[in-house]
Amino acid sequence: MSVINNATNPSVPSITFKAEQAQFKCSNPTAVSLAVKIYRFIKSFVFFIPNDIISKLITWKVFFSSNPFQNSRKLRKETPLTQDVLPLTRKPLRDVLNAWVNADPIRQVAADVILNCIENKTEELDLQAKDLTSLPDVFDYPELNHLIVVNLNHNNLIALPESFCQLAALQELCLKNNKLTALSDFSKLTALRKLDLSSNNLSVLPNLSQLKALRHLDLSNNSLSDLPHLSQLKALQYLDLSNNSLSALPDFFRLLTALRTLNLRNNSLSALPDFFRLLTALQILNLSNNNLSALPNLSQLKALQVFGLRNNKLTALPDSFGQLAALRHLDLRGNKLTALPDSFHQLTALKDLQLENNPLTVRLY
């Protein structure tokens, strides 16, 4: 340790001393030993960083008043480390990719696609059908922050790396047909407009309420029995929940007033809530293969054009059914209907009507 008298104020003695890689300035010579102890304490936590890096990055100043016990614990960094340390201590992206490929050479094709995307600055990263079981944890590197579309369909992914949530510019994320059982936090993907999570093994979902730009959400072919609160998704126009285990619809559905397509086929729904009539923008509604025995008043769905009700337990349709003036395609196959309401003749736009496998007792002309 070297000690140099470096007092700028003659009334307050000052000593600057260097102990290996750290430089301290103390305004009271009696505090030198305490400063050394503090340095050694710090060094014990960073022993794994090479000394030459420490010497370049870390300059600590410990300030003491003339009273060695007053403010003796105040420790200040001259330069914030969060911005300076990361670029120098973190491995280069290519090195991370090389290590990822070395663990499984089949990943080489995917690594080449990632590098090509970086070199050409393309906005779409297409890694579909690459037989991937994992992804490299590189998505928070600045070289990839330009991505707009990421296609990971038809792989064997069971999880996403934590860095994935840093793709703040991402607008389209496709994860169809993987083996995902849980998802990381998506709350930072606020630019996302399309999210496809279909054909996975999801039984729960993270909070998606921050994805306020989302327009297309596909959650079909999973194991969902409940849904997170989606009421903030005011822009959502397409929602596919088919082939899940839903037995009821949560109240927040009444707020999804921008929905144009809603697919609830192959669930366990036994009834529709009355607020369903508030989804007035609906154009396509599929409720086939559920356990519905009756329908609420849906007369306000004036924009509805395609209505699937196949394979339910319907014994009758509401009298207001004839007010679905835009209805063009109606599938009522496989129910228990014995008659149709008198208002049915008002469906003047109807072009495709399927009524097979119902015990109807009246002839339709």
| Predicted confidence (pLDDT) per residue in 47-95, tens digit | 444 444 444 444 333 333 334 444 434 433 333 434 333 444 678 999 9
pLDDT at 181: 94
pLDDT at 6: 42
Q: Which of 350, 323, 319, 317 is nearest to 335 (CA)?
A: 317
CATH, range 91-245: 3.80.10.10
Q: How far is CA 174 from the centre of its chain?
A: 11
The C-alpha angle 226, 291, 365, rounded to 5 degrees, equals: 135
Backbone angles phi, psi at 332, to 5 degrees: -115, 20
Assess whether the region 91-245 and the region 252-365 belong to the same CATH fold. Answer: yes
Measured CA to CA, the distance from residue 141 to residue 157 in angstroms comes to: 21
Quick one: CATH architecture of 252-365? Alpha-Beta Horseshoe (3.80)
Asked if 60 contacts 39 with a C-beta cutoff of 8 angstroms, the reply is: yes
| Domain-wise residue ranges, the chain | 2-88, 91-245, 252-365
243-265 pLDDT, tens digit each = 999 999 999 999 999 999 999 99
pLDDT band of 22, cuts 50, 70, 90: very low
338-357 pLDDT, tens digit each = 999 999 999 999 999 999 99
Measured CA to CA, the distance from residue 333 to residue 62 in angstroms comes to: 81
Element (H, E) at 81: helix 81-89
Measured CA to CA, the distance from residue 146 to residue 76 in angstroms comes to: 36
Measured CA to CA, the distance from residue 274 to residue 298 in angstroms comes to: 8
Asked if 208 contacts 228 with a C-beta cutoff of 8 angstroms, the reply is: yes
pLDDT band of 34, cuts 50, 70, 90: low
What sign does the dihedral 82-144-171-163 (CA atoms) show?
Answer: negative
Report the chain's mean pLDDT, rounded to a whole number: 83
136-174 pLDDT, tens digit each = 999 999 999 999 999 999 999 999 999 999 999 999 999
How much of the chain, in percent, has pLDDT values that exceed 70? 75
Q: How far apart are the first and last CA of the chain?
A: 104
Residue 206 is encoded by which pair of tokens?
Answer: 């993270």
